Structure formats: C-alpha cells, structure tokens
Amino acid sequence: MLILNQFANQLPLKNERKIDQYNFLFYAETIAQLMSFLIFVCETFNYTINMRSDRTFTMIKPDAVANGHIGAILAKINQAGFRIVALKYTKISKDQAKVFYEVHQERPFYDDLTTFMSSGPIVAAILEKNNAVADFRKLIGATNPAEAEEGTIRKEFAESMSRNAVHGSDSDENACIEGAFHFSGTEMF
C-alpha cells in the first residue's frame, strides 16, 4: 500500500490523492482486466504468427448440440484420425457471433447466421492432423447437406443448409484466427 501511495499523485483518483481500500480495489481490478486483455492479444498474435498447417478449427453448431449429436460427431472426428488439441462446451453471444462471422457481414444470411449461432450451446474444438484443413473439409462435406457425400458429417447430421451441424475452417490462416477467438494458448494441448 505504501508503494502505491508514492504513485498516487499520478493517478486520477476520485477523492483524495492517497490510495484507500476502495481506490486500491478499483485499480487492482482495472489492472487485472488490462493484463487479461494484453495476455489475450499476445497469445492471439503468437498463435497467428506460428500458423500450423496440421491444425484446424471446428464448431459443433447449436442444431447438432440440441439434437444430441456431440458424441457421434466427435467419434467421427476421432475415427478420421484427428487429435483433439482443445475442446470447449460454451455459448456465444450475438455480439461474439457477429465478430466471429464478420467476413460474411455483407451477405444476406449474416443476421440469420449470427442469430442461429447464438441461439444455443456450441462445442468449439481445435483439431490436429496432417493436412488438417483440407481433410476436415472433406470429412464434414458440402455446406448443403443435400449435396454432401455419403458418410460425411453434414450428410449424416445436418438439417438444412443453414443448420448444417458443424463449422470448419477454410484455410490455415482462418483456422489460426478462429482457434484463437475461442481458446487461449494455455487451453491447447
């Protein structure tokens, strides 16, 4: 506390120019939030710089989660030789979905997509395998399940083109960006 009081004249405190318990807690919380943000930025930057062609990102979408297909989809992923590097059962907000799908912002389906993706829980995962992006895109099949090959995840579990069970990154660069959106460096093994 004494050390903090030495810097009190430089801080925009609400009342007096000394650190009391309220101001200490306020600044401690602010500093903790700033540190969390800086750690996130550094991990994201480091993860993106060190792009790996043997990793991809996927999400099991709210339709497949609601229909109880998590286990079956993860089993198909494992059977196809992918190693799960990170896995998270979570729910994203509409704002998070808008950021995640920002590349589609000008498309007519953008609002429906972000509403759907924030409508229920998802399972986010980073997968590892040689040629991960291309092999996973082949495993999930065409966006439209009616056009997907037999045995693909979308052919088996998707309801429609807009409720197509899974997301899969379309490039190594997007796999890095999308993975870093959902996972910190300490959550990947």
Of residues 27 and 56, more confidence is placed in: 56
Tracing tokens 């079956």 back to the chain, one arrives at: 72
Q: What is the mean pLDDT of the chain?
A: 84
Neighbours of 107 (CB within 10 A): 11
- Considering only 13-22, 47-56, 147-156, 177-186, which range has the smallest mean pLDDT? 13-22
What tokens appear for 23 in the block? 């101001």
Per-residue pLDDT, 31: 62
Residue 164 has pLDDT above 80, yes or no: yes
Catalytic residues: 167
- Indicate whether 108 pLDDT > 50: yes
CA angle, corner 14, sides to 8 and 18, nearest 5? 30
User: Model's pTM, two decimal places?
Assistant: 0.73
Q: Is 60 helix (H, G, I), strand (E, B) or coil?
A: strand
Cβ–Cβ < 8 Å for 97, 114: yes
